[in-house]
Amino acid sequence: MSTLNVYNVNETKSIIISKSEGKSKSKSEIKRKAISIDKLSVHYGETSALADVCFDVEDKEYLGIIGPNGGGKTTLLKSILGLVPMSSGTIDIYGKRPGKTGALIGYVPQISVFDKKFPITVQEVVLTGRLKSELSLFHKYSNEDRKRVNEILNSIGIYKLRNRQISALSGGEFQKMLIARALAVRPKLLLLDEPTASVDVGAREQIFSLLDELNENMTIILVTHDLMAVSSHIKTLACLNGRLVYHGRAELDENIVKELYGCPVDLIAHGVPHRVLREH
């Protein structure tokens, strides 16, 4: 029997946030931390993927993570999800530990983990976001699950594709389907690993506007190689190259870029507005 390789980090429970919460609190109390990472190191056998990474993410922040191939970006997301063992350090996600976050996190993995040839429709993939544990071919979804999925497909603009086989989707449609799947449980934190890789300019802009809208209600961490996205959408930036080279405002300078990619700004900054890359 063939199997679909998907992560199930979400549970069906929705999050209830008390409406009165925060009313009598000071601004700094309301601006709670979404994530706190302290001295995180991850090794795969002999390979050090992340060393001594420390940073915090505020609630409703929109953080972009950039860095070279193999820089540890996916490893960082997987550490937050509890999908890789940490060699040392701690991660706190809204007061919870990785792997114990239930429906708090929605995850859009790097596209390569999906088998596009698997015979399954868009609606069925998005429904898997409602599963509590491993995907079973005999699982029965509730009417509430189906209602939520239709709402999401509608809001993301792919409702008309709901009965389409995933093998017949374009790159942009496929990415929107993965975002819909991550949103199926109304997460508080959305992690996306290169959601605009191999999509055209139009689909990329649609995905970024969608993320801007979602950021009004949720914290977003976006791993990307797309420096245009860094320029016009994200609020803060983290640069990873096995360790944290930079964390702060979405503004880079020549030295950081050189340290990060080992090459001059001009090579990677072609067409990128100077709002991101300071005068050089």
In the complex, least distance from residue 207 CB atom to ligand ATP, rounded to whole angstroms: 18
Q: Interacting stretch for Mg ion, rule CB under 5 A, among 73-81, 151-159, 170-178, 205-213?
A: 73-81
Please give the residue whose beta carbon sits closest to Mg ion in the complex.
74
Residues that bind ligand ATP (CB under 6 A): 44, 47, 49, 67, 69-75, 110
Q: Which is nearer to ligand ATP, 42 or 131 (CB)?
A: 42
196 binds Mg ion (CB under 5 A): no
Q: Which is nearer to ligand ATP, 153 or 199 (CB)?
A: 199
Q: How far apart are CA 112 and CA 99, in angstroms?
A: 22
Place of tokens 């550490």: 79
Contact 112, 152 (CB under 8 A): no
Q: How far apart are CA 237 and CA 257, in angstroms?
A: 12
Q: Which is nearer to ligand ATP, 124 or 194 (CB)?
A: 194
Regarding beta strands 189-193 and 219-223, do their DSSP bridges make them parallel or antiparallel, or are they unpaired? parallel
Element at 55 (helix H, strand E): strand 47-58
Instruction: Write the secondary structure of 210-264 as one string of H (helix), E (strand) and C (coil).
Output: HHHHHCCCCEEEEECCCHHHHHHCCCEEEEECCCEEEEEECCECHHHHHHHHCCC
In the set 10, 74, 215, 231, which binds Mg ion (CB under 5 A)?
74
Contact 128, 147 (CB under 8 A): no
Q: Interacting stretch for Mg ion, rule CB under 5 A, among 66-74, 167-175, 234-242, 254-262?
A: 66-74
Q: Which is nearer to Mg ion, 179 or 185 (CB)?
A: 179
Q: Which does 172 bind (CB under 5 to 8 A by kind): Mg ion, ligand ATP, none?
A: none
**Which residues lie near Mg ion (CB under 5 A)?**
74
